[in-house]
């Protein structure tokens, strides 16, 4: 699975980009980009330092995409870090290495979710125990907020890959359209279009189920 | 594409960074009042931002030691298979010499040859000191060639067990103004509303919060209060557009037209475009075709690059206006 993803990622990164169509690039720390390039050459120390740099973000992203109840976080985090190291050869330095790693983590985590979903379908199970939101573990966090997050995660499994990646980078990681465009190498209007389609799917989900409208309600503000 | 499906994504970004002006907030509220997906995105992005902050803190605190491997001494031979093969080879040389001199050693020599043969045929080696659920698994697979890794074996040894708290975070998306708090800024404004004086911005924020709760009667009441008490304030002017959009979406075209018209008498800023379009839509709903044509003409002439311009031209064509 890791190999498949990386082949895909390399082909993506090698795709020629039309810089004129992409919005202004976010500020990039040249030192960390240089570190990534040195690591890509096989330097052990640089690779270790780079992993230290990106590890917290990768773990956090994977926890968020998989959900707090998933027991595979550690394994998926390993896969993501390995995939990141493998993909460094194709890293162009147009964004922070941690962003690059976060994007890979999102893709690996989404692929994992899809695989689990497919596996459950084959076994004809009704409920994945890992997928049940763990409200009790989300101490201090709103149950409604967790339900909204769960809806987004479910949607990520159902959408086409490009749309779900754009939606994840936008909503889960909170990136701007320009940042999504630069990191994915897609023109900004393509990103906009993918997000529009993803939002239409989201709208259909909300409209199809009146109970979901409750998720649109924010917590009651204190007086 | 209908008008309401043009999503003001940049405004949601600015709101999360705490850079949204009250006029922009009014624009956003006007859109969110009628767009369920943007309303959902707005709430969910705050949810995920809070969770990302929490997870980053957790990762830095080292609660998840992904790269901890079992401590083991550094060996001369990095692979167990190589080690076994070299030892067998050395033993074979010694045994050959011994066998030449002592026939009783030949039986032992045969046993060792069989062991060497089974190893070279690729019988599964032991796991090399890594326990199952540890990241060393993947690195071990990498070193066995099951996963290709660019880093050297030396790195694989060194990568284990570094303290997670030393990790540095780069590119954090959390605005400085909200670091250290889990209360989203737009909610904090509302939370503070009872403490801070009841000024126009506070009233506007409370009304906006009511809108987000879909509590339209309270929102209308607060906006009306704002218009009565602070009629000259920017917030009161902006509230005409928000209420206008709300009235339009609820089918009250007459009231919507009045509100947009009130704003446009001396309105300035980016809300003028919203109000002009809103006025045209209200007139469309009222069936006042001549007025509607004039209103859409204003949209086309004043805002030719607007995302609403295409719809305006379509309506003008439908109304027979060139």
Task: Quote the ipTM score.
Answer: 0.73
Residue A185 forms part of a structural domain: yes
- Per-residue model confidence as pLDDT tens digits over A157-190: 888 888 999 999 998 888 888 888 888 888 988 9
Contact B66 A55 (CB under 8 A): yes
Q: From residue B56, how far is each of A55, A159, A178, B50, B173 by CA, in Å?
A: 10, 27, 24, 10, 11
b (16+ CB within 10 A) / e for B184-220:
bbbbbbbbebeeeeeebbbbbbbbbbbbbbeebeebb
**B90 contact A CB<8A:** no
Q: Is B48 in a helix, a strand, or coil? A: helix
Q: Rounded distance, CA B37 to CA A10, Å? A: 33
Give the pLDDT score at A124.
Answer: 52
Question: Tokens representing A165?
Answer: 């990646």
Domain ranges of chain B: 3-57+179-318, 80-162
Instruction: Classify residue B82 by burial, with Cβ atoms within 10 Å: 0-12, 13-18, 19+.
Output: exposed
- What count of Cα atoms within 13 Å lies in the side-chain half-sphere of residue A83? 28
Q: Is B190 on the interface with A (CB under 8 A)?
A: yes
Instruction: Name the domain count of chain A.
Output: 1
Per the domain annotation, does A223 fall within a domain?
A: no
- Give residue-wise pLDDT tens across range B158-201: 333 333 322 223 233 333 333 333 333 333 333 333 333 467 87
Chain B neighbors of A174, CB-CB under 8 A: 16, 45, 48-49, 52, 173
What percent of chain A is predicted at pLDDT more than 90? 4
The pLDDT-based confidence of A29 (bands split at 50, 70, 90) is: confident
| B132 in reach of chain A (CB within 8 A) | no
In a domain, A7, yes or no: yes
A49 or B190: which leads in pLDDT: A49
CATH of domain B3-57+179-318: 1.25.40.10
**Nearest CB neighbour to A215, from listed B40, B171, B190:** B40
Q: In the prediction, which pLDDT does A122 show?
A: 64
A46 found inside a domain: yes
Listed as ranges, residues in chain B with pLDDT below 70 are: 1-6, 61-83, 95-198, 322
Asked if the C-beta of B55 comes within 8 angstroms of chain A's C-beta atoms, the answer is yes
Quote the pLDDT of residue B95.
67
Q: Give the pLDDT score at A7.
A: 34
Domain that holds residue A58: 2-16+24-216
What gap in Å lies between CA B170 and CA A96, rounded to an integer? 8
Q: Do the beta carbons of residue A147 and residue A215 sit within 8 Å?
A: yes
Nearest CA in chain A to B11: A176
pTM of the model: 0.48
Query: What is the predicted pLDDT for the residue at A105?
Result: 92
């Amino acid at each position: 699975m890791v190999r498949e993803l990386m082949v895909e990622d390399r082909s993506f990164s090698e795709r020629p980009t039309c810089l004129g169509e992409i919005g202004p690039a976010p500020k990039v720390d040249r030192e960390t980009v240089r570190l990534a390039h040195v690591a890509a050459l096989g330097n052990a120390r640089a690779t270790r330092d780079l992993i230290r740099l990106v590890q917290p973000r990768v773990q956090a992203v994977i926890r968020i995409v998989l959900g707090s109840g998933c027991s595979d976080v550690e394994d998926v985090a390993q896969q993501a870090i390995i995939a990141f190291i493998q993909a460094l050869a194709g890293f162009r330095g147009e964004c922070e290495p941690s962003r690059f790693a976060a994007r890979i983590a999102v893709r690996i985590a989404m692929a994992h979710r899809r695989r689990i979903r497919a596996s459950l379908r084959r076994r004809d199970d009704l409920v994945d125990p890992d997928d049940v939101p763990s409200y009790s573990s989300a101490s201090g966090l709103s149950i409604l907020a967790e339900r909204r997050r769960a809806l987004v995660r479910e949607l990520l499994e159902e959408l086409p890959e490009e749309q779900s990646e754009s939606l994840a980078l936008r909503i889960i990681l909170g990136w701007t359209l320009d940042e999504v465009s630069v990191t994915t190498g897609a023109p900004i209007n393509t990103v906009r279009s993918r997000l529009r389609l993803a939002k239409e799917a989201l709208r259909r989900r909300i409209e199809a189920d009146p109970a979901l409208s409750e998720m649109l309600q924010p917590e009651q503000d204190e007086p | 594409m209908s008008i309401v499906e043009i999503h003001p994504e940049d405004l949601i970004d600015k709101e999360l960074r705490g850079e949204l002006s009250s006029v922009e907030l009014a624009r956003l509220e006007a859109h969110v009042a009628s767009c369920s997906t943007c309303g959902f995105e707005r709430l969910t992005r705050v949810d995920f931002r809070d969770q990302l902050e929490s997870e980053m803190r957790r990762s830095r605190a080292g609660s998840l030691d992904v790269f901890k491997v079992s401590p083991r001494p550094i060996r001369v031979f990095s692979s167990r298979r190589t080690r076994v093969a070299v030892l067998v080879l050395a033993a074979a040389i010694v045994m050959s010499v011994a066998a030449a001199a002592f026939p009783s050693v030949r039986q032992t020599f045969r046993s060792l040859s069989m062991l060497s043969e089974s190893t070279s045929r690729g019988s599964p080696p032991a796991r090399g000191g890594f326990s199952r659920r540890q990241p060393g698994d993947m690195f071990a697979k990498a070193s066995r060639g099951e996963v290709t890794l660019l880093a050297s074996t030396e790195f694989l040894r060194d990568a284990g067990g570094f303290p997670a708290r030393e990790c540095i975070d780069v590119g954090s998306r959390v605005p400085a103004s909200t670091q250290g708090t889990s209360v989203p800024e737009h909610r904090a404004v509302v939370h503070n509303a009872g403490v801070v004086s009841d000024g126009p911005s506070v009233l506007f924020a409370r009304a906006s919060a009511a809108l987000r709760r879909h509590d339209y009667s309270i929102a209308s009441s607060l906006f009306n209060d704002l218009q009565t008490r602070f009629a000259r304030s920017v917030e009161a002017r902006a509230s005409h557009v928000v209420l206008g959009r709300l009235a339009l979406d609820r089918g009250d075209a007459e009231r919507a037209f009045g509100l947009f018209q009130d704003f446009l008498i001396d309105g300035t800023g980016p809300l003028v475009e919203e109000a002009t379009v809103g006025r045209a839509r209200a007139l469309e709903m009222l069936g006042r075709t001549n007025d509607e044509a004039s209103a859409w003409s204003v949209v086309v002439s004043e805002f030719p690059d607007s995302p609403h311009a295409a719809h305006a031209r379509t309506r003008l064509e439908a109304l027979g206006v060139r």
